[in-house]
Structure 1
Amino acid sequence: MDENPPVISRVSTDECWNLLRRSGVGMLATAAAGRPDLFPVNYLVDGRTLLFRSAPGTKVAALEVQPHAAFGAQSADDDGHWSIVIRGRIDMLTDQAEIVGSGALELVSWAAGSKRVFMRLTPDSVEGRRVASADYPSGAIYT
């Protein structure tokens, strides 16, 4: 029996958005041809939405057919590990004034190439949780 079980707590919606502003990297889940798929993405928080930019391809094609997606980000800080899941709708941004005004042009991608497709995820739900760091001696996790 674990003497120090990890403490899992919910993260408020406001704290979720604050944590997301610190990261910039996550995973976007789509449904392509009836199958789930995950794509690593760089993102930018714009108000209470997320912005992405992408090259045309599998992810964009899937989202044009089925615009509902899930997004996940996770990291760690001094308070432990956190993870956030956002579910909602992806809209393609085509209006240049909206693209410029949103700051999406400042979004830098880790992957090289022309990223000329701009997208916005508007959430239906935002859920976060935090797991307090366990105080295990080195190697004790596997005993």
Structure 2
Amino acid sequence: MTADPSHDTPTAHTIEEVPETECWELLAGEKLGRLAVLAKDGVDIYPVNYVVSNGAVYFRSAPGQKLVDVTASPFVAFEVDGVHERRRWSVVVRGDAERLAFDSEIHASGIALLKSQAPTEKWNYVRISPKTITGRRFTSR
């Protein structure tokens, strides 16, 4: 990382890798992310409200194409980004998505308490079990 020695912060041109523990903290601090799934005609991206719990990402879904695509091709990418003190960041989780089948899993995850911003009823609960989690951060100009 190239840093300005007089400020102890990265320069405007530095892209910094975010450690995994901090990636989880950043994810936990947001509520809306983007789910990328393999669809029949290519890749599709859906905005989803989510929670982070027990080393996984959870979201709710109404019946529809998103759930069909996740079931057909469960390897997904999930991305969240934000800004903190003029520093932009992005975290990407790649892993397998699976619909939760047991009430005990749903309650333990906390996903049942999630308030969705979309007006549709969402009674399908999905867990993304990460295979990788990566983050990047850079200073805004």
Common topology (TM > 0.5) = yes
In the alignment, the residues of structure 1 paired with residue 54 and residue 86 of structure 2 have an alpha-carbon distance, to the nearest angstrom, of 25
Structure 1 runs of 4+ aligned residues shifted over 3 Å read none
Alignment of 1:13-24 (within 5 A): 13-24=20-31
**Aligned-residue CA RMSD in angstroms?**
1.2
- Does the aligned pair in 1 maintain the 2:91–2:133 contact within 8 Å? yes
TM-score by structure 1 length?
A: 0.88
Which of 33, 54, 68 aligns to 1:61? It is: 68
Which residue in the other structure is 2:99 paired with? 92
Is the partner of 1:97 in helix, strand or coil?
helix
TM-score by structure 2 length?
A: 0.89
Q: Tell me, which stretches of 5 or more residues in structure 2 are unaligned? A: 1-10
Give the superposition deviation at 1:113.
Answer: 1.3
Alignment of 1:19-98 (within 5 A): 19-78=26-85, 80-98=87-105
Q: Tell me, which stretches of 5 or more residues in structure 1 are unaligned? A: 135-143
Which residue in the other structure is 1:122 paired with? 129
- Does the aligned pair in 2 maintain the 1:71–1:85 contact within 8 Å? yes
* Identity in percent: 36
Aligned length, in residue pairs: 131
Which of 109, 115, 120 aligns to 1:113? It is: 120
Is the partner of 2:23 in helix, strand or coil?
helix
Letter in 1 for 2:82: S
1:41-65 alpha-carbon deviations (Å, 9 max, x no partner): 1110012100000101010000111
